[in-house]
Amino acid sequence: MTERISSVDTVDVRFPTSRHRDGSDAMNPFPDYSAAYVVLRTTSGAEGHGLVFTVGRGTEIAVAAMRSLAGMIVGQPVEELLADPGAVARRLTGDSQIRWLGPEKGVVHMAAGGLVNAVWDLAARRAGKPLWKLLADLTPEQLVAQIDFHYLRDALTEDEALALLRGAAGGRADRERILLERGYPAYTTTPGWLGYDDEKLARLCREAVDAGYQLIKLKVGGNLADDVRRMGIARQAVGPEIRIAVDANQIWGVPDAIGWMRELSAFDPYWIEEPTSPDDVLGHAAVRRAVAPVKVATGEHGHNAVMFKQLLQAGAIDVVQIDACRVAGVNENLAILLLAQKFGVPVCPHAGGVGLCELVQHLAMFDFVAVSGSTEDRAIEYVDHLHEHFVDPVRISGGRYLAPTAPGMSAQIVPASLAAFRFPDGPEWAAEAQPLTTVA
């Protein structure tokens, strides 16, 4: 009997991180790191796990979107799905009626991404490989066939993508060995949350250097005098050699961004991340021109490959920050990795939250082995929160991500954690009043 997808189960799971202001930044003073979590189950008992990362309220909308899309997957033959996840991605993002709600943006697109990632997780488990290895073992032709080039050809054609992948074929085996031996560089955002006091900031900066990190990141944009003081403390703590990136989380308009960064430039910031609206391609380009040689980084809210295409075409960014859970899953991120390579811009993935480190490491490691062939000026963001809730958590050593070896995309949450933190009825939440903005 043909194996089929028998169910698509969703869970609204929220971790009360706001109680300690972990993850606090200029736009997210009190996030509760959360996920619209999904499990595909097959008639043979196999599973694929995926998630949409959220920051609390509104997770129920992501769950609703996943449920609406799930009908396109339930009942489908598994072999067919796994043979061509790109076809699944196109179906989920291209439904002629649901598409009106985007297109290819916002919570519906994120929900599609959660489902697509779950299909890839199932594929990698089935293949007995971690996702980065599954992807690295595909041929250039197979990879290119997984990408929707429809809106991208003015910047990257199928032939150019093939040439990039073929050009990176040499040395793949060596890079895979290096990856397995030494891992992939990480940078840490742990010291720099806005909610931490100066003493904690200085201590965490020193600990980060001691732990082997070459790049740390501070949140900025709350108050200029505070930022100047905090940058001074951080620079003092880490010395002149360690890179310090700063992250404004979209708080500024374009003129504010330029003025504010002028004040911080004395402390040699490495990049300014999300200086303004993530939609403002031309704004990022203006900021980049004004703040050079400080680099401009963005991408965690880049809602689809068309936005990355433009950021690269406009010369608006120095660093591409892919996110595993913003665009429509692995397939759209393959397109973004290839666009970045075409334009010669390094990829430093956004992570943190809950599950983002676990998922995105696979994409960065695939990029190293099969696309860019380099880890120079590249690092995956790392934050040491909530990894204990994952069955296959990231492993960090000496400021580097160790390559995952378990089959899948590392997306599975421990069942006991899902049960405890399920919203609103899990025991960790049932005692609390529901947030104001969630009504029945």
Catalytic machinery residues: 219, 350
Q: Coil, strand or helix: which one is 306?
A: helix
> Across 194-305, where does the E strand assignment appear?
215-219, 243-247, 269-273, 295-298
Give yes or no for residue 69 binding a copy of itself (CB under 8 A).
yes
Neighbouring residues of 173: CB distance < 8 A, sequence distance ≥ 6? none
Q: Which is nearer to a copy of itself, 123 or 287 (CB)?
A: 287
Neighbouring residues of 310: CB distance < 8 A, sequence distance ≥ 6? 281, 316
Neighbouring residues of 427: CB distance < 8 A, sequence distance ≥ 6? 420
Q: How far is the CB of 355 from a copy of itself (least distance, A)?
A: 14
Give yes or no for residue 383 binding a copy of itself (CB under 8 A).
no
Q: Which is nearer to a copy of itself, 135 or 156 (CB)?
A: 156
Q: How far is the CB of 144 from a copy of itself (least distance, A)?
A: 16
Q: Which of 366, 329, 325 is nearest to 119 (CA)?
A: 329
Cis geometry, peptide bond prior to residue 103 (ω within 30 degrees of 0):
yes
Q: Which residues pair with 10 in a beta bridge?
A: 38
According to CB under 8 A, which residues from 97 to 156 bind a copy of itself?
97-110, 149-154
Q: How far is the CB of 340 from a copy of itself (least distance, A)?
A: 17
Give yes or no for residue 283 binding a copy of itself (CB under 8 A).
yes
According to CB under 8 A, which residues from 286 to 315 bind a copy of itself?
286, 301, 303-304, 306-307, 309-310, 313-314
Q: Which member of 23, 50, 56, 85 binds a copy of itself (CB under 8 A)?
A: 56
Q: Answer whether 89's CB lies under 8 Å from 332's CB.
A: yes
Q: Which residue has the tokens 């742990």?
A: 190
C-alpha span between 14 and 29 (Å, rounded): 16
C-alpha span between 226 and 194 (Å, rounded): 9
According to CB under 8 A, which residues from 232 to 261 bind a copy of itself?
250, 253-255
Q: Which is nearer to a copy of itself, 167 or 255 (CB)?
A: 255
Q: What are phi and psi of 11, to 5 degrees?
A: -135, 135
Q: Which is nearer to a copy of itself, 67 or 395 (CB)?
A: 67
Neighbouring residues of 52: CB distance < 8 A, sequence distance ≥ 6? 35, 36, 62, 66, 107, 110, 111, 113, 114, 325
Q: Which is nearer to a copy of itself, 73 or 216 (CB)?
A: 73
Q: Which is nearer to a copy of itself, 53 or 401 (CB)?
A: 53
Angle at 360 between CA 207 and CA 197, to 5 degrees: 30
Only one of the segments 38-46, 67-75, 121-129, 329-337 lies at the binding site for a copy of itself (rule: CB under 8 A); that segment is: 67-75
Enclosing H/E stretch for 53: strand 47-54
How many residues of this chain interact with a copy of itself, rule: CB under 8 A?
73
Using the 8-state DSSP alphabet, how is residue 185 labeled?
Answer: E
Q: How far is the CB of 115 from a copy of itself (least distance, A)?
A: 12
Give yes or no for residue 336 binding a copy of itself (CB under 8 A).
no
Q: Which is nearer to a copy of itself, 202 or 311 (CB)?
A: 311
Give yes or no for residue 333 binding a copy of itself (CB under 8 A).
no
Q: What mask of x and - would describe binding to a copy of itself in positions 17 to 36, judged by CB under 8 A?
A: ----------xxxxxx----
Q: How far is the CB of 436 from a copy of itself (least distance, A)?
A: 5
Give yes or no for residue 381 binding a copy of itself (CB under 8 A).
no
Q: How far is the CB of 322 from a copy of itself (least distance, A)?
A: 17
